[in-house]
Structures are given as C-alpha cells and as structure tokens.
Amino acid sequence: MPISPTYPGVYIDEVPSAVRTIIGVPTSIAAFVGTAPRGSVTDPVHITSWADYEREFGGLDASSEMSYAVYQFFQNGGAEAEIVRIVAAPAPDEAAPAADGPTFPAAAALALAAASGAAADAVTLTAVSPGDWGNHLRARVDYQTSDKAADPAQQKTFNLALRDTVTGVTESYLNIAADAASPRRLSVVLASSSLVTVPTAADGKLPKAHTDVPAGQDPFQDGKGAGKGDWYVDGAGGLDGTATPTAADYSGANSPVKDGKQGIYQLLKTDIFNMLCLPGPAGQLGDGDHPAGVLAQAAKLCLDRRAMLIVDPPDGWAKISDVAKAAAPGGAGLPLTGDVAKNAAVYFPRVNLADPKLGNQVRDFPACGVVAGVWARTDVARGVWKAPAGTATGMNGVLAPALPMTDLENGILNPLSVNCLRQRPVVGNVVWGARTMKGADFEPDGEWRYVPVRRLALFIEESLFRGTQWVVFEPNDEPLWSSIRLNVGAFMNNLFRQGAFQGRTPREAYQVVCDATNNPQNDIDRGIVNIQVGFAPLKPAEFVIIHIQQLAGQIQV
C-alpha cells in the first residue's frame, strides 16, 4: 500500500514486480479409458509407473486391452498416466438396478460375525471396487491386542488382517477399538485401506475372533475344511459386468453417480492430460471398434481439454486396399472427420507382441499404448515440436507390425493422413508418419496437417491460459499491456531459444501484440483485453529429395 510519510527520514517501499513467470505445462501425460478387473469406477486414478497400475487395477489381464496398452506405454518411455475404468451395466440377474437407473456390477462383501452373536452387530466389509477380484479377498480377526482382556466378554479391541490372494497384497490393522467415539474406531482405521471400505455404522461393534492358527502357519495359506479351522472369512458376491460396455457406459449415463463426470468424462476431474487412448472394449479381445459415438465424444473432449486422441485402426482395416478405400475421397471416411479431427491421429496397422498372459504367444495389439509412449519419449528427448516419428522412434517390445508394407504402399496411405508403423532395415520397428486426421493432401486447409505443429499449438495455448490468470480484473491500460508483453514474450523467447520455432531471430520466430492497436476503447469498456500471439512452427522434413547430377568435363573453380 502507498506510504504515508509522517516524519523526516528514509522510507522503504517494496513494489511488486511486473514479472510473472509463465511455466510450460506437461506435454506427455497419457489418459487411458478402458476395462480392468478391478479399480475405481467413479474417479480417474493418476499413476506414475506400471507398479502403480498393478496395485490399483490388478496388472495384465487377458480380457483387458487397456492393461496391455498401459504396460506398453511405460515400456516405451511414458512416465505419467490417468486411468479411467469403464464397466458395463450389469444384467438384471447380476445386480438389482438403482432406483434411478442402471448401477455398477456388485462388489464383494466380507461378512464378519459379531462377538455377541447378534446379527445386528455383524460387520460387513466391502471391496473398494466392483468385480470378481473381491471374491479373492480374505479377512481375519484376532484379539491379540495390547490390552487383551482376560475375559473375552470384556474384550474392547481387536486386530484385523486383510489379504488379496491374487496379488498377495496384505494389510494389517492393530488395536482397533470397539468404541464408536474412539479415534481408533474401525471406519477411521480402514479409511486408508486399498482393499475394502466400511460404513460408519460398523463403528463400536466387536467382530468375533477367528480360530487361532497353529504356530508358524500362515492363516491365509490353506482353505477352510475339516481339521483346518475357521481361520478367516472369504469375500463373496463380487461380479464382473458380463456385457460389452455400451455407449451409455462410456458416456456415464449408466452410472448411479449423477454428477455428469462419469464414464469417459471422469477425465474432467483431472488437472491435465495430453494424450487419450481408447484401447478396445471389454470382452472383445482384439476388437478395435467402439460403440457408436464413443470416438466422437472422446475427440470432442480432447478438443475442449487441448489434448490429442490417438486412434487405433478400425477392425475393417485388414489390408492396405481397405484403408485406402475408406480414407480416400468418397469412401467411408476416417474414424473421425470435421473440426475434431485436427486433435486426432490414426496409426495403422496393429502391432505384434508377445503376450505374457498366454505364455508369450505372439498376437496383435492396438498400437495406441506404444505410440503414446513414443510421443512421451520424444517430448523428453527433443521437445513437443519434434515429430514423434522417424528412425529414433523405435517401438520397444514390438516384434513387428501386424501387416508389413512397402514404401509404395506407405505412399498410398500417408497422403490420406494415415500414419504407418513400419519395420525398417537396421533401425527396426518405428513410427513412420506424423499427420493429424486433418492432414490429407486433399484437405483444403492444411494448417494443422502435422502432429508436432498441432501439439506445439496446444502446449502454448494451455501454458498461456494458465500463465495469464493473474490478468483477470487488473486495470486494463498500458501498464497491464506492457506487463503482458513482457511475460508472454519471455515465455515465447524461451521456446525460441530451445529451437521450437522457425527463424533466425525472435522477430522472425514469434510475435506478441498487446497494445492500443488491438485493444480499442470499445473492448476496454466491455472489460476485454486482447493478446495476440503468433509463432512460426517447425514443419517436419517429411520428404527428403536428393538431386544427383553427373558432371562431364566441367571444371569447378
């Protein structure tokens, strides 16, 4: 605030700096939407490693294309991902529908009998997510606590152990209080569990202890039966959705959570994602087609969130001629058309990899996970402005593209904006195309023909959107405009120095205009400040032409 001098002397006034650094946003966070045997069905889960995915969603599963895509993403250089699990609405005989419509498949329950013997005092633990996986949970109660009572009728605390017998994850909770007012009550202690949830109604209840285990024996090692004792309780009632997810499952219309952010729109709850992959529906291993309208919804979501959609080839694309017929003018068209196509890229063909769940038998997979990993790796090594294609984009783990092609066949598809995956001599399996789905030669507007150009623009847009929030409600006059030019110009100059733009000088590479020329008084009166940012993008050297001429008797000076 202004200083009000009252005495003769020196006053110190700290003036806020006009410099507000604009930080570039991440460029390689991938989002995967698909099916999994376990995991959250109402909120996206942010992971930073394959181990995170295994812990949250159960790892590789033969019926989940998404699990393989995420594995391939991290194998090829990916570092961060958002996972959205889609489940099919249950059949009528699988679970009772919610009052307002379909619900999710049932989650398993673990029924712990009450020490009092009364049914009303029983405690039911519920698996954290729907699915058959919860049927493999086991729970055990014992009274070997720090304040064990000599008389069981006076026991006030208990220990609880949980185990997922498929993954081996075990959780142990000691000295849980059978007192609804205690800070060690059951609902509080289990709030951090990654296996089960418990209602607050269970607080204050004492479960019955299970039979003591013989010394040195794992209580979860053997099943129940004669001579083995009642050492634990099994999960029961968990069901997987047996139907194939529908468009309503992807859009969230079948979700009992009516917040408008379910299905694929769970991604609206994330801070940012840059790439979106839809690696095939559940129950149809190898089927690349999605329910009608799903790709269009995903592409519109990417357009709104400044992200790119990596599209796998439709099932009908079995041969080069199939692709050429569909993608050429007058054909069935690419999977996406219109304005949303500039934020999407399609890659053909699928890729052959060894499947660890089938004894390393070789089969074909959708390539979106591999391609997303290559994009992320290229961003780190070269920058988002470098085309994620070429001899440096080796596809780790890929044995070969599912359909080999020649240069001439590649030359048929590339002008139609279909990016090819090739096996090249010496360098191996690589990505050999970098066009968006608006990049066909017959497109009248080629502004967004190339993937790196579009991704660089999205990066700049999102970075400036976040980095100029401080401008809102500032006095709209020259001091503000000069500050905007300073900060946006510094951000663009930093990109220029990294080699993101064409041009030898900043003047040739970019421009930032925010002054009286583009902020007339009429806009100022309406509370609008206009900032014009232009840049000269780098275009990939897609075609290399070498002219060779024979010199006959010519003398070089």
CA distance 384 to 365: 26
- How high is the pLDDT of residue 99? 47
The pair phi, psi for residue 8, each rounded to 5°, is -65, 130
Nearest residue to 112 (alpha-carbon basis) of 196, 30, 210, 178:
210
CA distance 458 to 202: 50
Low-confidence ranges of the chain (pLDDT < 70): 1, 91-102, 222-228, 241-243, 281-289, 331, 553-557
Residues 437 and 291 reside in one and the same domain: yes
Establish how many alpha carbons lie within 13 A of residue 342's alpha carbon, considering only the half-sphere containing its beta carbon: 17
Among residues 398, 425, 453, which one ends one of the domains? 453
Residues 414 and 509 reside in one and the same domain: no
Question: Does 386 map to a domain?
Answer: yes
Q: How far is CA 30 from CA 45, 323, 347, in A?
A: 12, 27, 16
Residues 56 and 162 reside in one and the same domain: no
Print the domain residue range for 371.
29-89+261-453
Nearest residue to 241 (alpha-carbon basis) of 281, 196, 279:
281
- How high is the pLDDT of residue 19? 85
- How high is the pLDDT of residue 165? 87
Question: Does 4 map to a domain?
Answer: no
Assign residue 201 the CATH number of its domain: 2.60.40.4290
Whether residue 62 contacts residue 358, with contact meaning beta carbons closer than 8 Å, is answered with: yes
Residues 52 and 119 reside in one and the same domain: no
Q: Quick check: helix, strand or coil at residue 247?
A: helix
Q: At which residue do the structure tokens 């590479």 appear?
A: 509
Whether residue 238 contacts residue 272, with contact meaning beta carbons closer than 8 Å, is answered with: no
Question: Does 103 map to a domain?
Answer: no
Question: Does 21 map to a domain?
Answer: no
Chain centroid offset of residue 271 CA: 11
Whether residue 109 contacts residue 126, with contact meaning beta carbons closer than 8 Å, is answered with: yes
Residues 62 and 186 reside in one and the same domain: no
Whether residue 422 contacts residue 396, with contact meaning beta carbons closer than 8 Å, is answered with: no
How many other C-beta atoms lie within 10 A of the C-beta of residue 97? 14
Exposure string over 233-262, b if 16+ CB within 10 A, otherwise e: bebebbbbbebebbebbbbbebbeeeeebb
In the chain, count H helices and then E strands: 12, 20
- How high is the pLDDT of residue 254? 82
Look at phi and psi of residue 58 and say left if phi exceeds 0, alpha if psi is from -120 to 50, else beta. Answer: left
Q: What domain count does the chain have?
A: 3
The amino acid present at 373, given as its one-letter code, is: G
The amino acid present at 98, given as its one-letter code, is: A
- How high is the pLDDT of residue 286? 40
Helix (H) or strand (E) holding 423: strand 419-424
- How high is the pLDDT of residue 1? 64
Whether residue 540 contacts residue 385, with contact meaning beta carbons closer than 8 Å, is answered with: no
Residues 210 and 61 reside in one and the same domain: no
Question: Does 252 map to a domain?
Answer: no
Question: Does 249 map to a domain?
Answer: no
Residues 440 and 481 reside in one and the same domain: no
pTM above 0.75, yes or no: yes
Residues 410 and 546 reside in one and the same domain: no
Residues 411 and 384 reside in one and the same domain: yes
Nearest residue to 71 (alpha-carbon basis) of 349, 347, 369:
369
Residues 345 and 277 reside in one and the same domain: yes
Question: Does 36 map to a domain?
Answer: yes
Question: Does 208 map to a domain?
Answer: yes
Residues 272 and 390 reside in one and the same domain: yes
Q: At which residue do the structure tokens 């191996």 appear?
A: 428
The pair phi, psi for residue 491, each rounded to 5°, is -65, -45
Q: What is the DSSP letter of 180?
A: T
Whether residue 111 contacts residue 268, with contact meaning beta carbons closer than 8 Å, is answered with: no
Residues 277 and 342 reside in one and the same domain: yes
| CB-neighbour burial class of residue 375 (10 A; exposed 0-12, middle 13-18, buried 19+) | buried
CA distance 371 to 369: 5
CA distance 313 to 323: 9
Assign residue 84 the CATH number of its domain: 3.40.50.11780
Q: Quick check: helix, strand or coil at residue 302?
A: helix
How many other C-beta atoms lie within 10 A of the C-beta of residue 339? 12
Alpha helix stretches (DSSP H) within 183-235 = 186-189
